[in-house]
Chain A
Amino acid sequence: MFWSKIWFFLVAVVAGVTLTLALVMPRPAERATVVAETKRLAHACSVTEILLRDFAQSRIQLAGETARVQGVDRALVEATRGEAVPAGAYATAKKILADDLSFGTKRKGNDVVPYRPDLILALDGRGRVVARSGKDEKVYGDSLAGFYLVDDALNGYLGDDLWILGGQLYLVAASPVINTTDLDYAGAMVIGEAVDKEFATELADKLDVKLTFYAAGEAVATSDAAQLYEDVLARAPKLFKRAPGSDCRAQEAFSVSAGDSSYWALVARLPGEAGSQGAFYSVHIPQERAIGFSGTIGAVTKNDLSFSHFPWLRVAVVFLLMVGVGIALMIFEADQPLRRLSADVVVLAKGEGERLAEDRHRGKFGSIARSVNIALDKLHRETRAAKRDLDQLLGPLPLEGEPTAGSVLVAQRHESGLSAAFTPPPPPPPPSEFRFTDGGSGVRASSPGPVPGVGPSFSAAGAAQLAAPAVPPTDERTPPPPVSLPPMAKGPAGKAPAQRPPVPRGRLATPPAARGPEGSGAGPSYQNEYPSGTAPSGRTQQISIEDDEEDTVVAAGRGPAGVAIAGAAAGTGSAQADDGAQYRAIFDEFVALKRRCGESIDNLTYERFLAKLRANREALIAKHGCRTVKFQVYVKDGKAALKASPVR
């Protein structure tokens, strides 16, 4: 399992790294988006400035053309001579502005429409308005001298500027008007373009951004309805620390919010008089939302998962490689060893083997095999010890292959002596595990074994319990003395013995007569009364005694169902004098039952019977620490039998 663990650790590492990357990857993408957006914003800001400069250049050219319109110079010269602008000069100039000026066309959406500036001013040599077109076009005579642009134009310069007139921002250009008579400057022509929503929208559409112009502390024109003004107005003055003209390159975009939307904004100061009064413009674009991992997943389109965009083949290869390696390692390190161990255990269960082949199993499976073998060896030794004790108690066991006694002593019809009188029942199946369980559930084996009584070997544990008097009580927790194991027959492969000492593997022998037809009421029923407190739980106990190092348990089995003769011998060790009467009664019952079963009682004497019972009783008391031993006489397979049960 080592490599499997390593592999799954590597898979977990790869999965963790992949998940980390998946969670982290949106952040660099978002940063890249922010960088791209701010760059785009800076470009848009610079392009806005370039376009405004181009517009100014075109406007100056247009003002120059307007100043050369025939008749304008004479009207301005006439106006300059008077203390006030003469009405005649106004009429002449007004007519020229209305009829003689042509400004070409402009594109408005898909249409081409005539273009006319929002503001046209004809100024005399003193800077007074002789005529105007557009805003307040009926007003004349007021002086605009003092505007830097006007003063420059009256001195002979063409130029542009930005004015704030009545809260409205104007992009203006001026050109001097030269008197064609004396070639002196007669006045100036000023044309202006109002910076309004239409202007801002047209300009913003060319750049695919949002544009807002600010002047006199408020937004005067915007292409977007987003209410960013307060934020921008609050932050803009702090950003203007360098010389004007480099704001788009020097400033950094900042974030502003309007409602639930956020924008990147970049501001740049406007030149001219309006710029000196704090006018500027802002370019802003909506921010891409920080979508994170889940948002990124949600933004995946079908096209993103196509074979042309996603390396499905490589992903599949990697996936199959990981799965394949994992499965291979599991097969190599888990499935195959487990299968080998299972096969060995089956062989062991079938009796075709005596031990698990430890060398064939690696790692934990080898440990399991070794543990099982150790347990088998231990049971083997205990079995040998029990057999030896039983031999000491009941005499030598029959030859191998003959029926042997278990926990039940069966009187033999044709044998002399008590040991010969007890004939073991048909050998029970070898128990795989010995355990005393409650009599209600009967004696059970942990693994299904052959049907009791038909096993190839008998259960020597029960006999060992009966033959236990030689074992002192202090030896209960000490391993039995080593016994010499009989030679094991080698198997066909020469590795496993063909024959081995019987190892208890199944349930202890349960007298089948308890349920047999003999016990179904055919015989007389004897029921002794137990002394108060002697009968365990008031039930008839069937003896099944095993010398176990861990514990000694009295298994409660079902009673003999009225066919067994329950005899009880209760008392303390000091009351051995009274045992004679009780043993006599048991002897009599035993003899009577043997006669009833048609068995011979020739070699059965009371003295031998009594000596054996006493020895057996003492041995059981010493071994199990019970208060006394109860003997029962019953019919087993048509023969009289006797069993002893410890009473606690």
Chain B
Amino acid sequence: MPGTAGCSARYLPTRRARALARACGATAAMAMTLCAPSPAAADPNGGIVTGTVVLASAEQRGATPVHNQGFVRRVPALRPPRALDPRPQMIVVLEGATPPEEDRQPPDQPARYAILGESFETPLVAVVVGSVVSIHNAGRGAPRIYSPDQADLVPADPISPGGERKTRKIEPAHRTFELRDRESVHLSGRIVALPHRYFSLIAGDGHFAIQGVAPGTWKVRVWYRDGWADVPEETVEVVAKKESKPIKIALPAKFVTRPAR
């Protein structure tokens, strides 16, 4: 529930996003552009906001949460296991100013959210409020996606391999819709609706970039799963057609989330 749980208990693995970012071999911004679901078209006259989300040390973050257990408890291998990385479930969002009307409109085309086998391509995806999301099955199975938060968000029939299903309009803003599979336990994703398109996923190395931002002074906030992460806010001054000074967001080892008002 937003704002009630500790961050450490809600982080999910992020290997895929991190691996994808490495594989891109470009800048963090480019990685985000390639890997994130397609947002609305960026204004070429807008500025660019870039930054990095820095994690606490591995010792402070601790182990990844245990979601499941078989007959025996999991045990670490010979090498220390990887620590929790919450960034794949985070979205950097600009707030504090008024975006132009065109940046508040949902895109004409549905946002794409892919299922890669046994997981969504990213644990969390953000869309402009009122957008329609097309869920594409790139795996071999035929999941039956549903949303516990809104029963008629997704058609209930299975999505065959290569097929897709469109959701209803994702609204209102600042609300998260969870997607789950009736045939498996682990397949899960989230869609969050934001009031404009000034947001970005975080690459595996922590970089993010938001293009076409209207000039002005913006607050940089972090959305984590179901609410705003209680992290120190950063302010950025956006100038038209210029890249802002890189922002560094230091995530504490443990934080909580607050629901959006």
A residues adjacent to B (C-beta < 8 A): 49, 52-53, 55-57, 60, 64, 80-81, 83, 125-128, 139, 142-152, 154-162, 164, 173, 175-176, 178, 183-185, 271-273, 276-277
From B23, B69, B75, name the one whose CB has the most chain A CB atoms within 10 angstroms.
B69
Q: List chain B residues, Cβ under 8 A from A126.
A: 15-16, 19-20
> Which B residues between 164 and 206 are near A, CB-CB below 8 angstroms?
184-187
Chain B contacts of A144 at CB under 8 A? 117-118
B100 at the A interface (CB under 8 A): no
Known: A127-B15, A139-B140, A185-B77. 10 other contacts (CB 8 A): A57-B72, A128-B117, A146-B187, A155-B13, A156-B79, A157-B74, A159-B70, A160-B70, A160-B72, A162-B70
Contact call B75/A158, Cβ cutoff below 8 A: yes
For the residues of A in contact with B, the DSSP-based class is mixed
A-B contact pairs, 10 of them (CB 8 A): A60-B72, A126-B16, A127-B15, A143-B119, A144-B117, A145-B16, A146-B118, A156-B79, A173-B70, A272-B70
Which A residue's beta carbon lies closest to that of B64?
Answer: A155
Residues of chain A contacted by B80 (CB below 8 angstroms)? 156
| Contact bitstring B26-58, A, C-beta under 8 A = 1, else 0 | 000000000000000000000000000000000
Q: Which of A83, A144, A146 is most buried by chain B, counting CB atoms within 10 A of its CB?
A: A146
On whether the beta carbons of B16 and A149 are closer than 8 Å, the reply is: no
Q: Which residues of B contact A81 (CB under 8 A)?
A: 23
B72 contact from A53, A128, A175, Cβ within 8 A: A53
Q: Quick one: which of B74, B79, B118, B120 contacts A178, CB cutoff 8 A?
A: B79
Q: Quick check: is B239 within 8 A (CB to CB) of the other chain?
A: no
Bound form: Cα–Cα A356–B194 in Å: 130
Collect the chain B residues with CB atoms within 8 Å of residue A156's CB: 76-77, 79-82
Q: Are B74 and A273 in contact (CB under 8 A)?
A: no
Known: A154-B15, A185-B82, A273-B184. A148 touches B77 (CB 8 A): no
**B151 in the interface (beta carbon within 8 A):** no
A170 to B73 Cα, complex, angstroms: 18
B185 touches A149 (CB 8 A): no
B78 at the interface (CB under 8 A from A): yes
Q: Which residues from chain B contact A276 at a C-beta distance below 8 Å?
A: 68, 185
Question: Shortest CB–CB separation between residue B135 and chain A, in angstroms?
Answer: 15
Task: Tell me if B13 and A271 are in contact (CB < 8 A).
Answer: no
Closest partner residue, chain B, to A179 (CB atom): B79
Report yes or no: A155 in contact with B81, Cβ–Cβ below 8 A: yes
Q: How far is the CA of A149 from the CA of B66 in the complex (A)?
A: 10
Query: In whole angstroms, how far apart are the Cα atoms of A365 and B78 in the complex?
Result: 108
Per the bound structure, the CA–CA distance linking A57 and B72 in Å amounts to 7
A160 to B80, alpha carbons, bound, how many Å? 18
A15 to B185 Cα, complex, angstroms: 68
Instruction: Provide the bound-state CA to CA distance between A175 and B181, in Å.
Output: 26
Structural contact, B186 and A147, CB atoms closer than 8 A: yes
The distance in angstroms between the C-alpha atoms of A588 and B71, with both chains bound, is: 139
CB neighbours (8 Å) of B82 from chain A are 155-156, 185
Give the CA-CA distance A587 to B188 in the complex, in Å.
148
Given contacts A56-B70, A56-B71, A157-B77, contact A80 B19 (CB under 8 A): yes
Most central of B71, B79, B140 by chain A CB within 10 Å: B71
Contact A148–B23 (Cβ < 8 Å)? no
A175 to B118, CA, bound (A): 18
B182 closest partner in A (C-beta) = A277
Are B184 and A145 closer than 8 Å at their CB atoms?
A: no
Q: How far is the CA of A636 from the CA of B184 in the complex (A)?
A: 132
- A178 vs B13: C-alpha distance when bound (angstroms): 18
Neighbouring A residues of B13 by C-beta, 8 Å: 151, 154-155
> Which residues from chain A contact B2 at a C-beta distance below 8 Å?
none
Residue among A64, A151, A161 making CB contact with B70, cutoff 8 Å: A161
Cβ–Cβ < 8 Å partners of B118 in chain A: 127, 143-147, 150
Shortest distance between the CB of B178 and any CB in chain A (Å): 15
A162 to B186 Cα, complex, angstroms: 12
A125 and B69 CA atoms in complex are apart in Å by 21
Expressed in whole angstroms, the minimum distance between the Cβ of A55 and any Cβ of chain B is 8
Judge whether B116 is part of the interface by a CB distance below 8 angstroms.
yes
Q: Nearest Cβ distance between residue B168 and chain A, in whole angstroms?
A: 25
B69 touches A272 (CB 8 A): yes
**Closest CB of chain B to A269's CB: distance in Å?**
12
Query: Which 7 interchain pairs have the tightest Cβ spacing?
Result: A146-B119, A156-B81, A146-B118, A143-B117, A159-B74, A160-B70, A56-B71
In Å, the complex CA distance between A155 and B80 comes to 9
Docked complex Cα distance between A55 and B72 (Å): 10
Interface residue? B139 (CB, 8 A): yes
Residues of A within 8 A of B79 (CB): 156, 176, 178, 183-185
Nearest-CB distance from B21 to chain A (Å)?
12
Q: Of A145, A160, A272, which one neighbours B15 at CB under 8 angstroms?
A: A145
Question: Do the beta carbons of A146 and B71 come within 8 Å of each other?
Answer: no
Give bound CA distance, A57 to B23, whole Å: 36
Q: Within the assembled complex, what's the spacing in Å between the Cα atoms of A151 and B19?
A: 13
Chain B residues near A147: list those with CB within 8 A: 118, 186
Of the candidates B68, B76, B79, the one having the most CB atoms from chain A within 10 angstroms of its own CB is B68
